[in-house]
Chains A and B, each alone.
Chain A
Amino acid sequence: MISKAEIEKLASLSRVALTPAEKDNFTTQIDAILGYVDQLKKVSVQAVTDTASAQVNVLREDANPHEPGKHTEAILAVAPAKEGQYIKVKKIIG
């Protein structure tokens, strides 16, 4: 059973505000979903348990950068608030 307090904690961790009615609904609904996915616990997982070994590095070399400022204008244009060349947010450090 997932509790309402746990839902409140998760909502806060994931930065989502919930209304009181939503807290109740989500508790019931997420509890039902977790009840369903709990069946995974009874699967006998066989030899294939290594999830990482087949991975290879696919990242490109850190080279050939584009010229500075090439995308600045386009990216700033979609920001909700900006000041000069910066995206503007509220004060973080008091």
Chain B
Amino acid sequence: MIELVKLTIEKAHADLVSGAYSAVDLAKAYLAQIEKRNSELNAYLEVFSDVLEQARVADERLKSKKNVTKLTGIPFAIKDNILIEGRRVSSASKILEGYVATYDATAIKKLKDAGAIFLGRVNMDEFAMGGSTENSAYGVTKNPHDTTRVAGGSSGGSVAAMAADLCLVALGSDTGGSIRQPAAFCGVVGLKPTYGSVSRSGLMAMGSSLDVIGPITKTVADSEIVYQAILGKDSLDSTSIDSPVVVSKKVLTFGIPRDFLKSDGIDASVRENFEQAVAHFKKLGHKIVDVSLPSLEYALATYYVLMPAEVSSNLSRFDGVKYGLRKEGATLLDDYLKTRAEGFGAEARRRIILGTYVLSSGYYDAYYGRACQVRNQIRADFARVFAEVDVILTPTTPTPAFKIGEKSSNPLEMYLADIFTVPINLAGVPAISIPSGTVTVDGKKLPLGVQLIGGHGAEATLFSASKQFLGE
């Protein structure tokens, strides 16, 4: 019996290399766990039928001792908006029901080359729009720590699969917090890398200037291994970059944006937990200073103009002509209207309409143009602060995981849950959410997370500080 609860990539890799168990044994252990828990949690939309075949190939590679990487034989769960050639992928939307990917995402190709195993595709908010997976066309994913609560979102399936040991690693995507917020809600590590450091080729586009693929893992060391495996400039994504290599210093300066932390709606348990985290970093020998980022007050409003604008444009490709669902009407126009009405859920259509509005003639300058300017100011604020400090520390979320249904009728209230994560995507800098303890609510221990934010390309600093915090 392989003990999955404490298993990490490094441990599994050592065991696979020493022959303590095979990749097939490991894959079987995860398939058994999926069989046991998935019907309750609804993390996986599909478990691939060829998992053991993939594992056999990995075992041959391990046996040959040639071309073995740390990810050879390591079982992954993949968010349902990342393409794997020849496999179904739907962004948890009816409009892509039955769609089969025609190529590999670059991140997937890199994982395949490393010998990773794909267990299946996991649930999410439709087209990554939401913070709870309640917008999935295939039902909500439940939080393994309390199944009456959401796992968070949009990468809810990825984090629930991680937290319940239904995979050893998961890939997610983050546009405004979709990796970090659910990671905090489920007590796992979630990295949103520097914008462009991981290719977006093969990631279904939501907000193209904000989206990035990142790992969800049990430990910071695992996060680093996966990040190293998927990063790099890619000719298929013109916004991809070779990340500058920033080496972490021993003593770091942590900036605390005190004004920003005064925002309404932050739970007392979150404030208390955050102060403990600050004290912990201080005890580890780091310097703590207050910093001011005045434009952050406007980050959420900026995001909820720019993101829907990009959504309305990106989702125009789903027209019932080229792929996916087609609902027949009397004319071609009727085909479009019916296909998009029946194929998209309410949140997707709401954002398409909102985005169309902020981009429309007469409103463009007041909304989209204005938001672009404020975004530049937010970037400038971050640049100024990162000239003085190495890390900015905030809570990841203003509250622990909320109840299923609690916010689903009020979109604006759901958006406010993104307050700490959204500014990071606007600035394009990296951030990691790490578990920082728990709070007991209704007799259940709910995880909380803190977010470490770094300057562009400063992932190494985030990994180093996070490992110290967690005692890795």
- Contact of B322 with A79 in the complex, beta carbons under 8 Å: yes
Q: Which residues of B contact A74 (CB under 8 A)?
A: 102
Q: Which listed residue (B333, B353, B377) contacts A30, Cβ 8 A?
A: B353
- Contact of B377 with A48 in the complex, beta carbons under 8 Å: yes
A66 located at the interface, meaning its Cβ lies under 8 Å from any Cβ of chain B in the complex: no
Q: Which listed residue (A18, A29, A43) contacts B411, Cβ 8 A?
A: A29
A92-B321 Cα distance, complex, nearest whole Å? 13
A82-B335 Cα distance, complex, nearest whole Å? 15
- Interface residues as binary, B178-195 with A (CB distance below 8 Å gives 1, 0 otherwise): 000000000000000000
- Contact of A79 with B321 in the complex, beta carbons under 8 Å: yes
- Contact of A33 with B376 in the complex, beta carbons under 8 Å: no
A91-B334 Cα distance, complex, nearest whole Å? 12
- Contact of A17 with B337 in the complex, beta carbons under 8 Å: yes
B469 located at the interface, meaning its Cβ lies under 8 Å from any Cβ of chain A in the complex: no
Shortest distance in angstroms between A44's beta carbon and chain B's nearest beta carbon? 9
A39 located at the interface, meaning its Cβ lies under 8 Å from any Cβ of chain B in the complex: yes
Q: Which residues of B contact A26 (CB under 8 A)?
A: 349-350, 353
Q: Which residues of B from 293 to 351 have beta carbons under 8 Å from A?
A: 295, 298, 300-302, 304-305, 312, 316, 319-326, 331-333, 335-338, 340-341, 344, 346, 349-350
Shortest distance in angstroms between B446's beta carbon and chain A's nearest beta carbon? 27
Q: Which residues of A from 41 to 55 have beta carbons under 8 Å from B?
A: 41, 43, 45-46, 48-49, 51
Report, as a range, how many residues of chain B touch the other chain: 35 or more
Of the candidate stretches B10-18, B69-77, B363-371, the one touching chain A is B363-371
- Interface residues as binary, B232-250 with A (CB distance below 8 Å gives 1, 0 otherwise): 0001001100000000000
Of the candidate stretches B48-56, B276-284, B354-362, the one touching chain A is B354-362
Shortest distance in angstroms between B295's beta carbon and chain A's nearest beta carbon? 8
- Contact of B341 with A17 in the complex, beta carbons under 8 Å: yes
Q: Which residues of A contact B321 (CB under 8 A)?
A: 79-80, 87, 89
Shortest distance in angstroms between A17's beta carbon and chain B's nearest beta carbon? 4
Q: Which residues of B contact A22 (CB under 8 A)?
A: 346, 349
A37 located at the interface, meaning its Cβ lies under 8 Å from any Cβ of chain B in the complex: yes
A1 located at the interface, meaning its Cβ lies under 8 Å from any Cβ of chain B in the complex: no
* Most chain A CB within a 10 A radius of its CB, from B302, B377, B415: B377
Shortest distance in angstroms between B288's beta carbon and chain A's nearest beta carbon? 29
- Contact of B353 with A10 in the complex, beta carbons under 8 Å: yes
- Interface residues as binary, B111-123 with A (CB distance below 8 Å gives 1, 0 otherwise): 0000000000000
Which residue of chain B lies nearest to A74 when distances are taken between CB atoms in the complex? B102
Which residue of chain B lies nearest to A42 when distances are taken between CB atoms in the complex? B298
Q: Which residues of B contact A39 (CB under 8 A)?
A: 298, 301
- Interface residues as binary, A55-77 with B (CB distance below 8 Å gives 1, 0 otherwise): 00011100000000001001101
Interface residue count for A (Cβ, 8 Å)? 47
Which residue of chain B lies nearest to A73 when distances are taken between CB atoms in the complex? B102
Q: Which residues of B contact A10 (CB under 8 A)?
A: 353, 356-357, 360
- Contact of B377 with A43 in the complex, beta carbons under 8 Å: yes
A6-B232 Cα distance, complex, nearest whole Å? 44
B374 located at the interface, meaning its Cβ lies under 8 Å from any Cβ of chain A in the complex: yes
Shortest distance in angstroms between B9's beta carbon and chain A's nearest beta carbon? 33
- Contact of A51 with B336 in the complex, beta carbons under 8 Å: no
Beyond A39-B298, A49-B376, A89-B332, whether A15 also contacts B340 by CB under 8 A is yes
Q: Which listed residue (A2, A15, A32, A37) contacts B337, Cβ 8 A?
A: A15
- Contact of A40 with B102 in the complex, beta carbons under 8 Å: no
A2-B358 Cα distance, complex, nearest whole Å? 12
* Most chain B CB within a 10 A radius of its CB, from A2, A15, A49, A58: A15
Q: Which listed residue (B238, B298, B305, B332) contacts A58, Cβ 8 A?
A: B238
Beyond A78-B323, A87-B322, whether A13 also contacts B356 by CB under 8 A is yes
- Contact of B319 with A15 in the complex, beta carbons under 8 Å: yes
- Contact of A48 with B376 in the complex, beta carbons under 8 Å: yes
Q: Which residues of A contact B235 (CB under 8 A)?
A: 60
B402 located at the interface, meaning its Cβ lies under 8 Å from any Cβ of chain A in the complex: no
Which residue of chain A lies nearest to B240 when distances are taken between CB atoms in the complex? A58
Beyond A43-B374, A45-B377, A89-B321, whether A37 also contacts B353 by CB under 8 A is no
Q: Which residues of B from 87 to 126 have beta carbons under 8 Å from A?
A: 99-100, 102
- Contact of B320 with A43 in the complex, beta carbons under 8 Å: no
Which residue of chain A lies nearest to B294 when distances are taken between CB atoms in the complex? A43
B372 located at the interface, meaning its Cβ lies under 8 Å from any Cβ of chain A in the complex: yes
A79-B324 Cα distance, complex, nearest whole Å? 7
Q: Which residues of B contact A25 (CB under 8 A)?
A: 346
A40-B346 Cα distance, complex, nearest whole Å? 26
- Contact of A16 with B373 in the complex, beta carbons under 8 Å: no
- Contact of A41 with B366 in the complex, beta carbons under 8 Å: yes
Shortest distance in angstroms between A13's beta carbon and chain B's nearest beta carbon? 6
- Contact of B338 with A17 in the complex, beta carbons under 8 Å: yes
* Most chain A CB within a 10 A radius of its CB, from B235, B239, B325, B373: B373
B412 located at the interface, meaning its Cβ lies under 8 Å from any Cβ of chain A in the complex: yes
Q: Which listed residue (B100, B377, B412) contacts A32, Cβ 8 A?
A: B412
B352 located at the interface, meaning its Cβ lies under 8 Å from any Cβ of chain A in the complex: yes
Q: List 15 A-B contacts (CB under 8 A).
A: A2-B357, A10-B360, A11-B349, A14-B352, A15-B340, A16-B344, A32-B411, A32-B412, A33-B304, A34-B354, A38-B301, A80-B320, A89-B335, A91-B332, A92-B332
The 8 closest A-B pairs by CB, nearest first: A80-B326, A17-B341, A17-B337, A78-B323, A90-B332, A15-B336, A58-B238, A37-B301
